[in-house]
Structure 1
Amino acid sequence: MDTSKLIGGRFRVKDRPVSGAMGDVWPAEDTRLGRTVALKFLARKRLRHQGAPTEFTDWTVKKFEWESVAMARVSHAHVAQIYDTGEHEGELYIVMEYIQGKSLAGHLREGPALPLERTVRWTQEICEGLDAAHSREVIHHDIKPDNIMITHEGKVKIVDFGLASFADATQSHTGVGTALYKAPERWCGSAGSVSSDLYSVGCVLYEMLTRRPPFGSPQDDFMTVGRMHQDNLPAPPSAHRPGVPDQIDHIVRILLAKDPGERPQSAEAVVRAMSDIQHSLGFDDLSTALGRTDLSDATESNAGHSDRIRELDQRIFELELRFGPYGQAVIETRMEHAELTGQSGDTRGAAALYNRLGRDCQEYFGPYDTRVLNAFEGVARWIARSGAK
């Protein structure tokens, strides 16, 4: 494709594309409005040259057109915005919001485990975006870490509505979706629904907590993973990551219920649940204190700390079994864990860990105990460091 010409009479390609199996995404300048956009091209000619069956190529064209209509229906801060569509040299394209950041999948592959505060907050934002889509009768069908972008400011953007269907339409898409995140009923021929999107959210939340999907791995056979979704019960996240609170184990269990009727009835209900968890764990007060999230915390974190952080997670669990949750060795290790989290670059996560420790000690020892004061000093110190970045 010749990118030396203005595309659509206004878009000038700025850099090399990010290429996928069925298309490419190019950063481009909108010369009329003076902003950077993303041009998502369907590589229809490439598919034909590679020998793709005509039926498959026709389906990808419909899928591509479907994506533009679906995204145009939804306007929300946590859903990537679509601006326009067009055709250039026989190739279809969508003009989309340009997102500076990286996918949730990238965050899960790199650096230490996500702090609980960030996991809860991102899950809430995913569901806020989904609730906006569902309210417009748009079902995503392919919620997974690769389709969730995290901006440099630390905000969620849901992308790739290419498999989306409208709840008021007859098109089912029963055969599509990503195996690791696909709801049990969809393996049995169901068209999918709000509930199946929420099951996928449960899979993503599980992976954010444990660094593994609830069933299978990318190397497993497609149908083997499908049988796991239909027949197996996952271990609670706390079994893989000691310290995950009961409230989070509970919401994961409900989201991953085999029967769609036993899952939350709406994405809004999950938003409320995650908000309650933020409040109960003290994360909402922390968010107010920190203000806007700067994701330089996450993107600059030192992955070299990750092994030690995981060791401390396990150490805290073992010490609590021996000495109880308020033993001095437990408190000292929790402080070390919070401190190392901050040193890894995750200042927000460090403040969240200190904040929870301070609240726990306050409840048990009283508000003026030295351990309480030391924990809240840690909160203030890491909040200050976050603001200085």
Structure 2
Amino acid sequence: MDTSTLIHGRYKLKGDPTSGAMGDVWVAEDTKLGRTVAMKFLAQRRLMQQGAPTEFAESTARMFQREAQAMARVNNPRVAHLYDSGEHKDDFYIVMEYVEGKSLAKHLGTGPKLPLERTVRWTRQICEGLGAAHDVKVIHRDIKPDNIMITRQGDVKLVDFGLAYLADITQTHTIAGTPLYKAPERWHGDTGSERSDLYSVGCVLYEMLTGHPPFGGPHEDPMTVGRMHQEDALALPSAHRPGIPAQLNALVRILLAKDPDDRPKNAHAAENAIDEISRVLNATDDTIRRANVFDTPVSSASLSQHIEALDLRIFELEILHDRSDQLLIDARTEHAELTGQSGDARGAAALYDRLARDCQEFFGPYDVRTLDAFEGLARWNGAARTN
């Protein structure tokens, strides 16, 4: 590529390119706006010179153009922005936001496992970016550490939408993807969906927690890795790293469910779950002690374990179902009752208050579930006043 010529009358290439499967990425200066950008060129002529079939070269060109379409749809700080696209001397190019930083893959390759706080924060930001993409019908299909940039400020930017699928446009399907992070259904030729992307997020989260992917390794045969994704039981992260909160273990298990229907209903649900985990990680010792003080003739240990199990059950149900789902309403009701029975009448009243307001919103003010929740609120408020 001639670096002395302005491309489209404004872009000046700088330094040497980074070569990838579909093309070369250059750092460039947008002389019109005075900013640094990244320019990705499709290596179509190189493919042809290497004897690639015409059909493959044309398919690659379509994928490249679809990458531009996909990036243009998404407007979110967790996704690298598309600025421009065009053609230069028979080569297609796209102009993107230049992300100053390094990939998550490089962070993972620098030593010990990542701290839990950083892992949780970056996972939430990955889900935020994916949620924005999914909202506009863009399925990434290649979420992996190499395609997750971490800026110098320590924030996530999703990049490389080269395998993206536009769910509202008829297009040629591809089963391409990176084996270590590819969902089980995609090994059977499935096009991919929001929940396929979330499986890949689970693989990345697992690697951030343990230092290695959940199935296979980079030097194993891809088909062997594929069989592992489809058939092998998952060893939870806590088996490799003691001290991981139960909620985080549960989220990994749900994200890596073999059946897509058993994964989070969307990226926003996963993001909300991560927010809840952040609160768990930020809980003070005093908060934990107060939550486990029981003044009741019922066995404290047994009740504490039951409430803890219900906390986890509610956390999982909120990932998998709408908040109006009857299973979730029942679990929250039982949680409020047991909290009151443990001696925490004010806590029970607060739980019933939130449940009553939610039921009123979901079902109306005269639904039996709403009335029952308000009755529980009044009952435990009364108990709190008499104590």
Normalising by structure 1, we get a TM-score of 0.72
Residue 20 of structure 1 is matched in structure 2 by: 20
Q: How big is the alpha-carbon RMSD for the aligned residues of Structure 1 and Structure 2?
A: 1.6
Tell me how far 1:199 sits from its aligned partner. Answer: 0.5
Q: Distance in 2 between matches of 1:362 and 1:120?
A: 21
Equivalence map 1:217-236=2 (5 Å): 217-236=217-236
Residue 185 of structure 1 is matched in structure 2 by: 185
Report 1 or 2 for greater relative contact order, CA contacts < 8 Å, sequence distance ≥ 6. 1
| 1:180-203 Cα deviation digits (max 9, x unpaired) | 111111111211111101011001
Residue 324 of structure 1 is matched in structure 2 by: none
User: Are the counterparts in 2 of residues 165 and 172 from structure 1 also a CA contact under 8 Å?
Assistant: no
Alignment of 1:29 onto 2:29 = yes
Are residues 200 and 254 of structure 1, via their aligned partners in 2, closer, same or farther at CA, if it must alter by over 3 Å?
Answer: same
Unpaired stretches in structure 2, ≥5 consecutive residues: 292-387
Residue 154 of structure 1 is matched in structure 2 by: 154
User: Are the counterparts in 2 of residues 163 and 173 from structure 1 also a CA contact under 8 Å?
Assistant: no
Structure 2 SS opposite 1:26:
strand
Matched residue type, 1:15: G
Alignment of 1:39 onto 2:39 = yes
Q: Distance in 1 between matches of 2:138 and 2:251?
A: 24
Are residues 219 and 232 of structure 1, via their aligned partners in 2, closer, same or farther at CA, if it must alter by over 3 Å?
Answer: same
Structure 2 SS opposite 1:130:
helix
Tell me how far 1:113 sits from its aligned partner. Answer: 1.6
| 1:319-370 Cα deviation digits (max 9, x unpaired) | xxxxxxxxxxxxxxxxxxxxxxxxxxxxxxxxxxxxx7xx33774599xxxx
Q: Distance in 2 between matches of 1:47 and 1:265?
A: 40
Structure 2 SS opposite 1:16:
strand
Tell me how far 1:268 sits from its aligned partner. Answer: 0.2
Structure 1 SS opposite 2:12:
strand
Unpaired stretches in structure 1, ≥5 consecutive residues: 283-355, 367-389
Matched residue type, 1:114: L
Q: Distance in 2 between matches of 1:172 and 1:89?
A: 26
Equivalence map 1:157-168=2 (5 Å): 157-168=157-168
User: Are the counterparts in 2 of residues 174 and 186 from structure 1 also a CA contact under 8 Å?
Assistant: no
Tell me how far 1:172 sits from its aligned partner. Answer: 5.7
Structure 2 SS opposite 1:29:
strand
Residue 360 of structure 1 is matched in structure 2 by: 285
Residue 304 of structure 2 is matched in structure 1 by: none
Matched residue type, 2:285: D
Structure 2 SS opposite 1:15:
strand
Residue 202 of structure 1 is matched in structure 2 by: 202
Equivalenced residues, count = 291
User: Are the counterparts in 1 of residues 112 and 211 from structure 2 also a CA contact under 8 Å?
Assistant: no
Matched residue type, 2:221: D
Matched residue type, 1:188: H
Q: Which of these two proteins has the greater Rg computed from alpha carbons?
A: 2
Residue 97 of structure 2 is matched in structure 1 by: 97
Percent identical residues: 64
Are residues 102 and 127 of structure 1, via their aligned partners in 2, closer, same or farther at CA, if it must alter by over 3 Å?
Answer: same
Equivalence map 1:254-273=2 (5 Å): 254-273=254-273
User: Are the counterparts in 1 of residues 179 and 222 from structure 2 also a CA contact under 8 Å?
Assistant: yes
Are residues 69 and 362 of structure 1, via their aligned partners in 2, closer, same or farther at CA, if it must alter by over 3 Å?
Answer: closer
Residue 109 of structure 1 is matched in structure 2 by: 109
Equivalence map 1:76-155=2 (5 Å): 76-155=76-155
| 1:169-188 Cα deviation digits (max 9, x unpaired) | 23363421111111111111
Residue 321 of structure 2 is matched in structure 1 by: none
User: Are the counterparts in 2 of residues 255 and 264 from structure 1 also a CA contact under 8 Å?
Assistant: yes
Are residues 88 and 137 of structure 1, via their aligned partners in 2, closer, same or farther at CA, if it must alter by over 3 Å?
Answer: same
Matched residue type, 2:136: R
Structure 2 SS opposite 1:17:
strand
User: Are the counterparts in 1 of residues 206 and 214 from structure 2 also a CA contact under 8 Å?
Assistant: yes
Equivalence map 1:278-289=2 (5 Å): 278-282=278-282
Equivalence map 1:282-301=2 (5 Å): 282=282
Q: Distance in 2 between matches of 1:121 and 1:99?
A: 19
Moved more, 164-173 or 226-235: 164-173
